[in-house]
Chains A and B, each alone.
Chain A
Amino acid sequence: MSDVLRRIEIPIALTIIATLIQVIPYYVNIPVLDTVASRASNSVLLIVAYATFIGVISILQVHGKRIQRQSEGWYYSILVIGFTVIMALTGLPLPEAGLGVNNNIYNWLFTNVLTPLGGTMYSIIAFFITSAAFRAFRARNLESAIVLVAGTIMVMGNAPLITNLIPPIADISLWIREVPNMATMRGVMIGAALGSIALAVRTLMGIERGYLRGGQE
């Protein structure tokens, strides 16, 4: 029995059925299928909610072992586990017990720890862009020379001092953004959209199996 359940045809069939349940009501007006699709979507949300626990278990396993073995920087793992447990417990949806998103501890941690940390991580992108630009803006060949010139014009076009001193720079940078850049981006977007549709078609037809145990039987 377990051999039958482990056959790859089962997840492929489930994928095809789940896909059809979502695709058919999008194009065809069948109220019963709409209801089925809606229920399937809600079930997915439940599965995702359950999967969150898998994430927590993975964190506890990895960091628990680090603490147990006292690996390098193990004390940071105590912080990770500590905050995971505190946030999980104080964020439980039990408002009558004073827990949930309005809990003081949860709110304080969210506002004073999570938000500033996220903001800091986002803001350091500026430094990464600078170092990446330093590496990219080197005229080693014709292509990189074009990138260098276009990039320099774009930077200058976004600097009010430069556009005030040399007004045509603003027009040139606008042209670069709206003509060659836009054309390239649209080409990439159309190609990617078609690739995405083709992947969906392959998945629907049960040909694409890379996401299922490496596509093995």
Chain B
Amino acid sequence: MEILISGRIFGLVSLLVIMAAVAYYIRKSQEGKVPSVRRIPGIDAIDESIGRAVEMGRPVFCSHGIANLRAATTGPQTLAGLSVLSYVAKRCIDVGAELYVPVRQPEVWPVAADIVETEFKLAGKGDEFDPDRIRFLSNNQFGFSSNYMGMLMRQKPGANIMVGAYWAESLQLAETGSRIGAMQITGTAQTSQIPFFLVVSDYCLIGEEIYSAGAYLTNDVQLIASLAGQDVGRIIAVILGLLGAITVTLGSNVLINLFRM
């Protein structure tokens, strides 16, 4: 019996290479060599949007998408959205903004509530935390979106921050936010929804930018170093892509066979 499962060996090697690269850059960062990160205007604008909401006397809405934490492709987007929520909650508490978190997945609700509650406690304002503002709306996709749109129309937030996995409701939510004049910062890795967000929102995080948001916002040295490790994977992917195009054009299946190992 083979120990390694056939067809997945290349994937395992890739995973180990990326992990090694992340570990290498983290080690380097501990020696003081922290890689620089390019500016991401959408993330920089979060503070501005919260400040604007406070000046207007309006609340802030922050959603982490409608996906659960279990799905392989969309779960990480929810995690990324929760990292953004953590920062948004902190900033809202600092400047005294009312924060509302619309939630679709019941299993994510306790996580989101815990994040916001902890930020209140860390700020020494634990008694000001209102669990009703971390609001489970519906686990039905359009039940969630109609409820969210209703909240947007009734409460007219000054800022609407949506980072996570969204599907058909993306345009409904962003367009409603735009109509009520909210400053909107959106982000998703769902390629079919990125154009909608780009058209309607003030700032849009595209694809991988949402995964970097946590590192960018916290300015944590280890997290930033891990982004450099991620770039190693990107460089390998580009090289393999080019090699694949060349070898297949020349009629060779060497690389395809390697991927199928």
Contact = CB atoms under 8 A, between A and B. Distances in A.
Interface of A: 23, 26-30, 44, 47-48, 51-55, 58-59, 61-62, 65, 72-73, 114, 117-118, 121-122, 124-125, 128-129, 131-133, 135-136, 185, 188-192, 194-205, 207-208, 210-216
Given A27-B5, A27-B11, A197-B15, A211 B115 contact: yes
Given A27-B4, A191-B208, A196-B76, A207 B222 contact: yes
A90 to B, nearest CB: 17
B5 A58 contact: no
B107 A214 contact: no
A200 B8 CA distance: 17
Contacts, number: 204
Which of A26, A29, A72, A199: most chain B Cβ within 10 A? A199
Given A205-B19, A207-B222, A55 B106 contact: yes
Contacts of A188: 189, 191, 194, 206-208
B115 A213 contact: yes
Looking at chain B's contact residues, the main secondary structure is helix
Nearest to A61: B132
Contacts of A131: 175
Contacts of A132: 171, 175, 196, 199-200
B27 to A, nearest CB: 12
A214 B217 CA distance: 11
B223 interface: yes
A9 to B, nearest CB: 15
A125 B122 contact: no
Contact of A205 (B2, B22, B118, B191): B22
